[in-house]
Structure 1
Amino acid sequence: MIRESEVTPEPQLSQWLRVDVVHELSTLARMRAEWDALLDASDAGPFNAWEWLYPWCRRIAPDRRPLIFTARDRTGALVGLMPLGFELRRVMGRLVGRLAFLGETHIGSDYLDVVARRGQEEAVTRAFANALRETHGSWDVLDLTDLREDSLTVKVLRETFPDLEVGVTDRYVCPYETFTPGEPFDAFLKRTGRRDNYLRRRKWLEKQEGYRIERTEAPGALAAPMTDFFRLHAARWAADGGSQGIKGKGVESFHRDATQLLAERGRLRLYTMKVGSQAVASVYGIVHRDTFIYFQSGYDPAWRNKSVGLVLVGETFKDALEAGLTEYDFLRGTETYKSDWTTKQRRTVSVRVHASTGAGAWFTRHESAARSAREVLKRVLPEDTVERIRRLRRRRAAV
Structure 2
Amino acid sequence: MPRGAQMHIDVITDREQLEKLHGDWDRLYAEDPEAQLFISWNWLVPYMRSYAGAWFVLAARAGETGSPYVALMPLRLRTRINKSSGLYINEINMAGNNAADYTGAICAPEHAIAALQAFGRHVAQMGWSRLNLENLRMSRERIFAFIGQFSRETFEMREFSRVNAVDNVNNCRCFAATLPDTFDSYLDTVLSANTRQKLRRFLRKVDAGELRIGRAEPATYERDIDMLLDLWRIKWGARKGDRLQSILVNNRRVLRESYRHGTLYLPMLWQGERLLGALAIFVDPVKKALLFFMAGRDETVSSIPVGLILHGHCIRLAIENGFTTYDFLRGDEPYKLAFGVSESRVDCAMIHTKSGRNVGDRLDPRCLNDVFAEVSRSHQKGELAQADSGYRQILATDPQHARALYGFGQLLSFKGNHRGALGQFETLAEIAPNSWKTWFRVGMELQALSRHIEAEDAFLQTLALAPDYAPARFALAKSLAALDRRNAAIDALSGLLEDLQLAPRDSTLHLKADAMLKRLKQQAKPSYIRLNPAPVPAAMSTMAY
Band of TM-score, shorter chain = 0.7 to 0.9
Alignment of 1:221-370 (within 5 A): 222-237=221-236, 247-261=247-261, 263=262, 267-288=263-284, 289-359=287-357
CA contact (8 A) 1:99 1:139 kept: yes
Q: Distance in 2 between matches of 1:287 and 1:148?
A: 18
Cα deviation digits, residues 50-80 of structure 1 (max 9, x gap):
3333333344x44x62231111243521221
Q: Distance in 2 between matches of 1:310 and 1:58?
A: 35
CA contact (8 A) 1:280 1:300 kept: yes
Q: CA deviation at 1:312?
A: 1.0
Q: CA 1:68/1:329 → structure 2, altered by over 3 Å: closer, same or farther?
A: same
Cα deviation digits, residues 361-394 of structure 1 (max 9, x gap):
9xxxxxxxxxxxxxxxxxxxxxxxxxxxxxxxxx
Cα deviation digits, residues 112-159 of structure 1 (max 9, x gap):
1111123221121112112223x24x1122221111363434211342
SS of residue matched to 1:175: strand
Q: CA deviation at 1:102?
A: 0.8
Q: Distance in 2 between matches of 1:350 and 1:327?
A: 24
> Which residue number in structure 1 is paired with residue 79 of structure 2?
88
Q: Distance in 2 between matches of 1:178 and 1:113?
A: 22
Q: Distance in 2 between matches of 1:268 and 1:229?
A: 13
Q: Distance in 2 between matches of 1:115 and 1:220?
A: 35
Q: CA 1:153/1:140 → structure 2, altered by over 3 Å: closer, same or farther?
A: farther
CA contact (8 A) 1:294 1:331 kept: yes
Counting matched residue pairs gives 336
Q: CA deviation at 1:165?
A: 1.8
SS of residue matched to 2:252: helix
> Which residue number in structure 2 is paired with residue 104 of structure 1?
97
Q: CA 1:35/1:219 → structure 2, altered by over 3 Å: closer, same or farther?
A: farther
Alignment of 1:36-185 (within 5 A): 36-43=26-33, 44-59=35-50, 61-62=51-52, 65-74=54-63, 76-92=67-83, 93-105=86-98, 107=99, 109-133=100-124, 135-136=125-126, 138-148=127-137, 150-163=139-152, 164-171=155-162, 172-182=172-182, 184-185=185-186
Instruction: Report which of the two structures shows the higher radius of gyration computed on alpha carbons.
Output: 2
Q: CA 1:25/1:246 → structure 2, altered by over 3 Å: closer, same or farther?
A: same
Q: Distance in 1 between matches of 2:290 and 2:270?
A: 22
Alignment of 1:8-23 (within 5 A): 15=5, 17-23=7-13
Q: Distance in 1 between matches of 2:22 and 2:276?
A: 35
Q: CA deviation at 1:279?
A: 3.2
Task: State the one-letter code of the partner of 2:332.
Answer: T
Q: CA deviation at 1:229?
A: 2.7
CA contact (8 A) 2:267 2:279 kept: yes
Gaps of 5+ in 2: 163-171, 360-545
Gaps of 5+ in 1: 1-13, 362-399
Task: State the one-letter code of the partner of 2:75.
Answer: L
Task: State the one-letter code of the partner of 1:118.
Answer: P
Cα deviation digits, residues 248-282 of structure 1 (max 9, x gap):
33431232112211x0xxx4322122233443221
Greater helix percent: which structure?
Answer: 2
Q: CA deviation at 1:30?
A: 5.5
SS of residue matched to 1:287: strand
Q: CA deviation at 1:353?
A: 2.1
> Which residue number in structure 1 is paired with residue 441 of structure 2?
none
Alignment TM-score, normalising by the size of structure 2: 0.55
Task: State the one-letter code of the partner of 1:54.
Answer: V
Could you tell me the percent identity over the aligned residues? 23
Greater strand percent: which structure?
Answer: 1
SS of residue matched to 1:302: coil
Alignment TM-score, normalising by the size of structure 1: 0.73
Q: Distance in 2 between matches of 1:191 and 1:254?
A: 35
> Which residue number in structure 1 is paired with residue 195 of structure 2?
194
Q: CA 1:192/1:115 → structure 2, altered by over 3 Å: closer, same or farther?
A: farther
Q: CA 1:119/1:260 → structure 2, altered by over 3 Å: closer, same or farther?
A: same
Cα deviation digits, residues 335-360 of structure 1 (max 9, x gap):
12112213421111123223333337
Q: Distance in 1 between matches of 2:348 and 2:212?
A: 42
Q: CA deviation at 1:196?
A: 3.1
Task: State the one-letter code of the partner of 1:99.
Answer: I
Q: Distance in 2 between matches of 1:145 and 1:198?
A: 35
SS of residue matched to 1:306: coil
CA contact (8 A) 1:165 1:353 kept: yes
Q: CA 1:293/1:258 → structure 2, altered by over 3 Å: closer, same or farther?
A: same
> Which residue number in structure 2 is paired with residue 213 of structure 1?
213
Q: CA 1:130/1:342 → structure 2, altered by over 3 Å: closer, same or farther?
A: same
Q: CA 1:310/1:160 → structure 2, altered by over 3 Å: closer, same or farther?
A: same
Q: Distance in 2 between matches of 1:220 and 1:192?
A: 40
Q: Distance in 1 between matches of 2:307 and 2:245?
A: 17
Q: CA 1:241/1:356 → structure 2, altered by over 3 Å: closer, same or farther?
A: closer
Q: CA 1:86/1:186 → structure 2, altered by over 3 Å: closer, same or farther?
A: closer
Q: Which moved more, 1:139-148 or 1:49-58?
A: 49-58
